[in-house]
Amino acid sequence: MTSSTPQRTGWLEISIRIDPVSHESLGAFLFDLGCTGIVLENFRDSSLKAYLPFQENLEDLRNRLKAFLRKLAEIFPQLQSPELTISRIDDQDWSRNWQRFFHPDRVTPKLSIWPAWEPVPASINGRVIRIDPGPAFGTGQHATTRMCLEAMEKIVRADESRTLLDVGTGSGILAMYGAMLGAKRIFAIDTDPEALRWAKQNIDLNGLTGSIELSSIPIEQIEDSFSLLVANLILGEILEIFPHFPRLLNPNGLLLLSGILDEQVEQVKSVLDSYGLCEHEILFQEEWACVIAKKSNKEQKNEAILC
């Protein structure tokens, strides 16, 4: 007669309190570990929670997380010591449990973001984007995304020549709003195949199939130019690909950068200047900034943007 130890089921909740500047990189690492959902319980907080199917070797998991956090500290010297906890929780469908953190939201007076699993009331005013972000970032609730959406309302007009490049599209939310605002050609890229898969689902969900071209092509291989380029990324990623921005912008093209901490704005402004771009406007929300720049002569920086 043989006996076996019952297989333990359930999920692990990984909770990390860490500076928001690292959330994008940390989130990508957690998904690589096998996490099926990530939530920020309070967007004014710095806590990030991720859910992973239960595994026996918790010490190995903890060591891998600590090693990655040490690497983050090298990339982001301003990080204070993060707080890491790992807890076992009862077996639930945690791959979808994060939905309870995502609720309908009026992002601007003209735009509401609605979870895909909730019906949209007939009485709702303005445009509505329905989102099922899955593992991709971009529900419209984070300050960096909200500022991008607000800025796009100022920039994008229905125009036969208006074109948009969305770098790091994630859930596809910025590309979709560009289409709703009237951009005629939209090219959205992301290096994460899973993000592209969810972006396509969201595009289809909003009836925008055929309006947005999704691609995993590296930015350095893009040959076209655009009247608007948006990149909601962390500063390190922005600086890495910044040399490509000028050639990807049409004359008088606009550059919209978010994912930047307010303390990093001066660094971004100096990079703009070195590449012949001029600052037009900077938006601030919480500890984040969104920089709008223009490809034009410096003496034009205070002129109105013609869209």
For the residues 203-213, what does the mean pLDDT come to? 95
Which residue, 151, 300, 286, 305, is CA-closest to 231? 151
Name the most confidently modeled range: 26-30, 93-97, 181-185: 181-185
Mean pLDDT of the chain: 83
CATH homologous superfamily of 120-300: Vaccinia Virus protein VP39 (3.40.50.150)
Rounded to whole angstroms, the Cα distance separating 110 from 245 reads 29
pLDDT at 195: 84
The answer, yes or no, to whether residue 21 has pLDDT greater than 80, is no
pLDDT class of 215 with cuts at 50, 70, 90: very high
The answer, yes or no, to whether residue 305 has pLDDT greater than 80, is no
pLDDT at 142: 80
**Contact in structure between 110 and 224 (CB atoms under 8 Å):** no
pLDDT in tens, 283-299: 999 888 999 999 865 44
Which residue, 8, 54, 5, 45, is CA-closest to 23? 45
CATH level 3 topology of 11-99: Alpha-Beta Plaits (3.30.70)
Domain locations in the chain? 11-99, 120-300
| pTM of the entire predicted model | 0.73
For the residues 249-272, what does the mean pLDDT come to? 92
Rounded to whole angstroms, the Cα distance separating 259 from 283 reads 12
